[in-house]
Chain A
Amino acid sequence: MTRILVVVALIGVAAAPGLALAPAYVEPNLVRGLLSGWAVAAVLITGLLHRRFTASAALIVGLVPAFAGVAALVAAFSGPEPRLLYGTLDAVVHSGARILTSSLPTAVAADTLALPALAVWLSGAAATLAVRSGYPLSGALCPLLALIGAAVLNGPELSPAYFPTALFALGAVLLLAASTRTDQLPGPGSVQATPIGAGTQTGRTGRFARSLPRALSLGCVLALVASLTTYIGPLALYGSPIRPADLRAEVTPPEEDTAGASPLSYLPAWAAEPGRRLMTVTAEEPTELRWVTLSDFDGVTWLPESRFRASSEVLPAPEREVPSGPDREVTIEVGELPGHWLPVVGVPRHVSGTAVAYEPASATLRTGTGHAEGTEYTVTGQVPEYKEEALKKAEEPDKEEFERYLQLPEDPPPQIEEIAAAVSDGTPYERANRLAAHLRSNYGFDPDSPGGHGYANLADFLVSPGTKGGGGTSGQFASAFALLARASGLPSRVVVGFGPGTDEGGQTHTIRTGDAVAWGEVYLEGVGWAPFDVTPGEPKQNGASQEPEGGSGSEGASSTWGVQRPEEDTGIFRSTGAYLDVAYAWAMVGRAAAGLATALVAGTLLVGVLRGTRRWLRLRAKDPRQRILGAWRELYDGLRLAGTAPRPSDTVSEVLVRSDGLLPTADGRPRPWTLGRTMNAMAFMGDGSAGVSAHSAQLAADEVQTYTAALRSRLSRPRRLLWWLDPRPLFWSRP
C-alpha cells in the first residue's frame, strides 16, 4: 500500500513540469496527456529497471526507451525532418533552439516536444532512483528543477502554473510522508522500547495504519501552505517592477538573407503587365490583403524583415496598439507569387493550412519553408477601423522608441527636405495628410514608368512643391511618402499589398498583378499604424481594385485597415499588459478563503458529530467488556486532551493515579476507580471469557463520564468548546 502511494506521489511530482509547460503549446490538452504519459512511463520503467540494474546503470539503460519515445513522437508529429532516424536526431539536437525561436503558442511537433519529454523522463527517472535509494528529498529536487525550467520557458506570457505547482507540492509531501520510517520511534536513551515479539504481531498493516493519520495531517498542513503560497505569492509581486523575464526575447532568431528580394521591386513589372493571376481568395466580402511590410531603407531599396519566428496556428499578439475592428477570415490559394511571404488580412491572429513563421512587429507572415507559390491556407485577421476624431487627436510618438522608423540614410535628395519643410506644422495627422495630398495631386500614375524607389530614382521623380511632377508606380509613391514622413519627423514604413481583386462569384476573387499596390503607413500615438493612400490616378485605368479612399480632402487613413485589440482569442494570452490580473487574483483568494472557511466549519461540525457518536458508542456498548474498554479509551482521550498524555510505560494504576493528580478529589483521597480492577482483570486474568459484570461496566462508564466532565469544566471557555471539536482524538492511536 505504501509502495503504491510512493509510486503515485512520484508520478505526480514527475508530471508537474509537463503540466506546467503544456499551456505554451497550441493544443495544451494533447501535450498534457503526452507529457504525463512520459512521466508515468519514466517512473514505472525506471522502477522496473532498478530491480535489475544499479541506479546509474538504470538511468543509462532507461535512455533507450526514452529515445524510442522520441522516435515515436517523430512518427506521430513529424517536424521539419520526416525521416525517422534523422528526424529523431534533429528533434533531440535542435529541440531547445526550436522552442526558443518559435513564438507562443508553440506548435505541437516532434522537435518542439523532444526536449520537454526528455526533461520529464530524466527528472522522473532521477526522482524514482533517488526515492528508491532512500533519498526522497533529492527525489523531489530533479522534478522541481524541471518545474522551474518550465516556468522560465513559459515566461510572462502565460498565466502562472498554479495547479501543477500545487500538484508538485502535494506529491512531494506524500513522498516525504510515505518514505518516513515509522518504525524509528524516538527511544529514550538506548533503552530498547519495543517489547520483544510484540513488534512482529502488528506487522506492516499496523504500521501503515498508525502512520497514515500522521502522514495525512502532515500532508493537509503542507498542502494548505503550498497552495496558499502558490496562489497568494504572485500577489506580492504585483506593483513591483519585477516581471518574469521572457526567455524568447533574449533569443535572436536566425537572420535570413533578404538581399535582392524587396517586394517593392516587383511592382513596376506587375503594373506593366497587370493581367497575370497571382492568387485566388475566398472571402465573404471583398477584402484588401497585406503582403509585406518594409521598415528599413538603405538609400537604394526598402528591406523586408529578416528575422521570423516559427509559429503555430495561433499567432502572437501585435506589439503595438491597433484600433478595433471586425475579424475577417479568408482562404487564399497562392498562384505564382514570388518570395516566401504570405498575404494576410489585417493584423493576422490565426493561420491554418501550412507551416508559417511570423514577425509580430510588422505583422508579416511567411511560409515555414521554401516558397509561397502553391500554398493554400486560411488566415483570420482583425481589420482595424480608423475613426476621424481619434486620428485628429493623435500625437507624435516618442522619437527614441521609434528611431528605427525615423531613420533616413545620408544624402537624401534635396527635394525631400524641401517638401518636408513645407508641411512642418500641424498635428501629425494633418502633416501626413498634406504629404499624401501633395503626392496624389501633383503626380500621376504611370504603369510604364521605369520603377525604382531609391534615392537616385526619387531625385528624378520628386519635384519641388508647387510644380507638377511626372508619373510613377505605387511603389515609388509609397517610398516617397514614407521618406517624406520621416524627414518631417513622423515614424513611417512602406506596405505592399493587394486590392480585393476580381469577383468570380461564389465568394471567390482572383487577384492579379494589377491589384498589387504599395502604400505608406505613419505611426500616430493613440491610434497605431495608420495607412495613407498616396498613389494618384484612376484605379480602373491601372487595373487596381478600388483602393481604400478617405477622399482627397480628408484623405489618408483608409477606413478599413482596422485593427484593435484582438478579442480574447484563445484565453491563454493575457493581453492587458499587466502581469497579473489583481482583481481576478483577489477574487480567487476570496473564493478560496470562503471555501476554506466553509470546509473548516463543515469539518468542525463533522468532527463534533463523529466524536459524539464515538463517545456514545463507547460508553453505551452492550457488551460489558466493550463498555469498559470504551470507558478506558474515553479516559485516555480526556487525559490527552487535557495535555497530560499517559506514557506508553504507564500501567493502568499509574494512569489512574495520574488522573487523580490532574483533578484531585475534595478530600485529596484517590478515587475508587472500578476501571483499575476491571481493566487488569480483563487483560491478564488468562481465561479471556471471564465475565465482567454489567454492573461494574456501568460503574466504570459512569465514573469516566463524571471525571471527564469535571476535567472539562475546569478549562477556560474556549478550550471547553474545543474539547468536543478537536479532531486530534480521531487520529490518536487507540490505547
Chain B
Amino acid sequence: MSPVAPLAGRAWLFGDDIDTDVMAPGLYFKAPLEEMARHCLEAVDPAFAASVRPGDIIVAGRRFGVGSAREQAAMVLVQLGVGAVLAQSFGRIFYRNALNFGLPALFFPAAGEILAGQQLEVEPVAGLVRNLDTGREYRVNGIPAHLMDMVAAGGLVPFLRQRLSRPPAEQA
C-alpha cells in the first residue's frame, strides 16, 4: 500500500513530550530492530508494543518525538505497523525521520478530542482525519508539497534510488 493512500486503524493515545528515548531506548541500541521494537514506548504504555496492530494510528499531544535524532524511533513504529502519527506538534528531527521512512506524520490540533481505541480514517495527501465512531471530520495540513514525491516513493531511500537512476539531464 502506498504511504500516501488513505488508511484506517484504531487510535492509540499518548500525551505531551513523548521523546525518542522512550520510543527507542538506548539500552537496546545494539539489539536487532525487532527486539528494540518490543520495548517501544514501554516506559509510558507497557501494553503498546505487544498490542498494536498493523494500520493502527498514534494520536499524541505536543512535541511527539522530542529529543535525540535516533532514526530508530521512527523505524520501530514502522516495524510495528503503525499507519500514521497524528500529533499536536512534533520534535523536528522525528518529524523529518518519520516522513523519510514513509510514515505519514500530520499536525493534528484536535488530538484531545480522540478517545483511545476509536476507529480513525486518515487521508495524508488531502489532509483529512475522520473519526468513524463519532462521524466527526477534521481538516488538517497534509504532507508538505515539497515532500510529497519522497513520501509517495515510500521514503527517502526509494526516492533517492529513483532520482539516481534517472539520467543527469532529467535531474533539473
**Does B bind A?**
no
Question: Which residues on A are within 8 Å of B, measured CB to CB?
Answer: none
Question: Which residues on B are within 8 Å of A, measured CB to CB?
Answer: none
